[in-house]
Amino acid sequence: MPELRMNLITREWVIFAMEKGKRPQDFIGAREKKRHPEFVETCPFCPGNEAKSPDERYRINGEEGWKVRVILNKFSVLSRDGEKVRTNSGLRKVVNGVGIHEIIIDTPVHNHTTAVMPADQIEDVLQTYRGRFTEVYKDPRVEYVIIFKNSGHDSGTSIEHSLSQVVGMPITPRQVRNRTEGAMKFFDDTGECLMCRIINDELSDGSRVLFNTKHFVSFIPYAAVSPFHVWIFPKRHSGSFADARPGELQDLASNLKAVMSRLYYGLANPDFNYIIKSGKPSHTDSEYIHWYLTIVPRVAMTSGVEMGSGMFINPLAPEVSADFLRNIRVPEYGR
């Protein structure tokens, strides 16, 4: 019989339609992935082509050149110039589209993805995330900053080179407000941080846990909205990603690589999105906000029921997803 579970962070119900008889192997990508070379002469993000990309904002150098670069997004969704102006005219409410949109070039190697990057390279990327997150929040026009990565056609990108993005918005999105209000209500009702409680419950249950390390726990949520949806939570309570410490970023890099490697080898390199969900730097000491990273492999399509009801349908039990990923063997060269 189908089962409905509530995602306590979003307050959304998820339908688990296990009677469809789906197995983890059914979500292995059928579309053949094109093999890309390590360097593409026409790619503006490959080494030697720096003049083809917009203004550089930051970089991390290595022994053989740069390891990570940050540039302005040539096709920014927001304008870097101008002041924030809010206008109300009857029922029409407008904020002019100012803000910041940057690209983080994760690696100089054109055909690398998170799963096959060295762990220290991923740590460099995470350090860059934290630095840009803090820097973009210094802009007085910015109310909310999102850091995310799109990989593959189904994630919403056509770019081959591994990239992440930082967007500083002039408003706080409704989804973020709802999530924050839900966490606040849980704290008011129980005196506990909702995410800390989830960590304790998941570790106690164990059936959905993928990795439990010194600073982080990676797991499939109890009410995962799609197959193989993964959350990586910091064990130390902190309201903002800006507060992540060097040792914690190293541990996060280990968790992120371990999860992405198992998705890569277990599901034949699926397209994916991952997003850092965080409070502002000023929310670091919040008792009820707790930042985390969410990973969404693009292995299932959205249906009319989901679009019409706002409820997700997941044909695979989270416990089955977790068991499948835990048992994926990762080659030594992928570690």
Domain ranges for the chain, please list them: 33-80+90-334
CA 39, chain centre distance (Å): 26
Tell me how crowded residue 264 is: count the other CB atoms within 10 A of its CB.
21
Specify the pLDDT at position 334. 44
Q: 80: which strand partners? A: none
Per-residue buried b or exposed e for 117-153, using 16+ beta carbons within 10 Å of the residue's own CB: beeebbbbbbbbbbbbbbbbbebebbbbbbbbbbbbe
Closest CA to 244 of 235, 254, 231, 256: 235
Q: What share of the chain is helix, strand, coil (3-state, %, to 5)?
A: 30, 25, 45
Specify the pLDDT at position 21. 61
For the beta sheet containing 144-151, the strands, ordered from the edge strand earlier in sequence to the opposite edge, are 56-62, 65-72, 100-105, 163-169, 144-151, 272-277, 292-297, 230-234, 216-219, 209-212
* Per-residue confidence in pLDDT tens, the chain, 335 aa: 789 999 999 888 999 987 666 788 888 875 566 677 899 999 999 999 999 987 899 999 998 899 999 999 999 999 999 999 999 988 999 999 999 999 999 999 999 999 999 999 999 999 999 999 999 999 999 999 999 999 988 898 889 999 999 999 999 999 999 999 999 999 999 999 999 999 999 999 999 999 999 999 999 999 999 999 999 999 999 999 999 999 999 999 999 999 999 999 999 999 999 999 999 999 999 999 999 999 999 988 777 767 677 788 999 999 999 999 999 999 875 44
The Cα-based distances of 173 to 25, 143, 157 in angstroms read 36, 9, 22
The Cα-based distances of 220 to 54, 167, 319 in angstroms read 38, 27, 8
Query: Cα(110)–Cα(198) distance, rounded to whole angstroms?
Result: 38
Query: Cα(22)–Cα(305) distance, rounded to whole angstroms?
Result: 18
| Concatenated DSSP letters of 158-203 | ---S-EEEEEEESS--HHHHHHHHHHHHHHHHHSS-HHHHHHHHHH
- 8 A C-beta contact, residue 215 and residue 248: yes
Q: 295: which strand partners? A: 230, 274
Radius of gyration over alpha carbons of the chain, in Å?
Answer: 20
The Cα-based distances of 254 to 48, 49, 196, 245, 296 in angstroms read 30, 30, 21, 14, 18
Query: Cα(308)–Cα(276) distance, rounded to whole angstroms?
Result: 27
Query: Cα(295)–Cα(130) distance, rounded to whole angstroms?
Result: 18
Say which CATH topology domain 33-80+90-334 has.
HIT family, subunit A (3.30.428)
The residue whose two tokens read 């390590």 is 38
Specify the pLDDT at position 31. 58
Query: Cα(175)–Cα(257) distance, rounded to whole angstroms?
Result: 27
